[in-house]
Amino acid sequence: MYSEKVMDHFMHPRNVGEIKDADGIGEVGNPVCGDLMTFYIKVEDNRIKDVKFKTFGCGAAIAVSSMVSEMAKGKTLEEAIKITNKMVADKLSGLPPNKMHCSNLGADALHKAIENYLEKKRSKNGRKK
């Protein structure tokens, strides 16, 4: 049984889409359940100015992606990297035990997008020297 929050984020997901000129992109998948999530972030002054996602998966995966995007928007990179699967599940008023892996995927995809941004930034700064 899903909570009202999970159903709301599944039926009305926030921040769905793609950022064409994203500063960071993170993609994760779970071959067992078939879920695939891609997160796109725009960063300005060390803060996530915009975040979008594309998710192929179950209702819980879509709800998790939507919630993670809401939690990350406006946060500094340091704050956003601290978003955990437990925080996501708590914000959604819980997930069934067999769907908890979805909250891992959402947080992981966000973290990979942040890492991708930081990696691009490092290599760009490395070339300037």
pLDDT in tens, 75-125: 999 999 999 989 999 999 998 888 777 768 899 999 999 999 999 999 887
| Number of other residues whose CB lies within 10 A of the CB of residue 94 | 16
Residue 78 covered by a domain? yes
pLDDT in tens, 10-30: 999 999 999 999 999 999 998
Q: What is the CATH number of the domain that holds 42?
A: 3.90.1010.10
Residue 106 covered by a domain? yes
Backbone Cα Rg of the chain = 14
Residues assigned a catalytic role: 33, 102
Residue 126 covered by a domain? no
Q: Give the E-state strand segments of the chain in sequence order.
A: 24-30, 35-44, 47-56
Residue 85's domain comprises 4-121
Structural domains counted in the chain: 1
**Mean pLDDT across 61-77:** 96
